[in-house]
Structure 1
């Protein structure tokens, strides 16, 4: 799968600007095992791209090849049009933020953030100025003199981000940096991370196995499976119009409807929130696929309730309804109830 990173040409130059990162036919093997196979992927300048997939799908290996930590078996990697396939990590204009933050425990926060500048020989006065700006960007100016163990997990994550950004890389690589945070803090940091990326304007490539996280953060999502990219698109495109059965099943809940039950005669995907749940004696609506069945299970999630319906056609269909009724009221449907499930034909996306 190849997603173009070309921009519209200017009036004076018909040559498209190069992508921030371009991978052409990139493969990586470890002995007899192929971790990444013939991958083509372009990342646009200033874009937030998430590489999403299960463990072992190849996304972290791709990140490490972009960083230079892993050698490419075949293919090429370009940064802003420059071939860096054989360039060592320290000579690439990229930086990486890891899940464990890797902060120096005996350095103050200011010393941690300014470490890269110190190694680069930047003067003490200039380092202090740039560290102040970097801490302001992540909204942690007040903790400059503290040690890492005195900060919360979310604060340490932001310090690791500031340390990476202060060197002004062309591309920032993030390897599941929110994975160690609890759910509430993780959701807060997702918003913070997206806001920071917009402010600094640097290309972010983010690795995650969390579908909701990828949808929340990304300009585009590349969905990985078995060393290949199955689909690249905006969050809405990959969710609403999955290109393959894997994407439909991995990216949130989805009902896979066999060809014989689909209006257009091909396998399709219908998201549970698109499925209407009606009493069994309700007449089928025009322009819908409508099936009778029995509620086999209900799942209360807080904002919604999911209903698992075993239809007479032999297909289990999940319907999801918003809990917008009075809090003290019970759901209109329960286990064992005979119901009708239906969805409009244009709410189903063809698979394959």
Structure 2
């Protein structure tokens, strides 16, 4: 009998595979333990700390007055193709739309109102009413966008801290999140300029929402950078404490330094360096859009200030880059002092 085809063995294999440690965490652990072994010391402990959380929806939701057009007046808008849209919004299903579909509706409505103003006869009795209605709706658009981004499940889960680092070489959700947030800045720019967003563009909101459903991207990126920073700081501190004990140079036995070089090549140069560089690159690509979306004036913006200061205004990222530079700096000093070429054993 082929044992690998036995259902129970397959189930056990899947369970065991699912329990494997995160590859980035495993690499940092191995790096830490092997360096400590060469230095005849104990591996350093990394104590995770609480991170600033993304605020709860109740702290962020901006109240929006429900402004609707009378159906008798709306019926006149059949002449410019807007009646069916408004009737659909006033239906039972229309009243329970999620916030992504609400924003989509508001964008299409405003585009339709602009169209109606252009095509209806100048003596139409509904034109004065349309202008006032349009101005009220235009003033609410920024709040609709804010509420969608900060309180709608699929969008806010991208910003909520996700306590699991990315695997080595696997950064799920980057493309989807980058495209979605860049698109929101496009929508935001049009809102601020009072420019119409056509229906095909507004429909993309739904597509982006669907693509984000399985990801927790920015919250996972933040946690990955945070955890990598803690590892780098702790390991560098261990190395620097033993730096003067690394004997090397002409006519010296520099076996310990060469062993350390082997560990550096096996774990840091071969695995972790590319991982850290990708974290840095992805953060620098996605943070501008999020900074734009979360820092413009909103009634509830103050609730996000600690989050923005920590994760978008440089505190976390600067500490990460400093930890990386300090760690690399140790190895540069050591290899130069010991005349060891990087990448060789």
The two structures have a TM-score, normalised by structure 1, of 0.24
**Of the two structures, which has the highest relative contact order with CA contacts closer than 8 Å and spacing of 6 or more?**
2
The two structures have a TM-score, normalised by structure 2, of 0.24
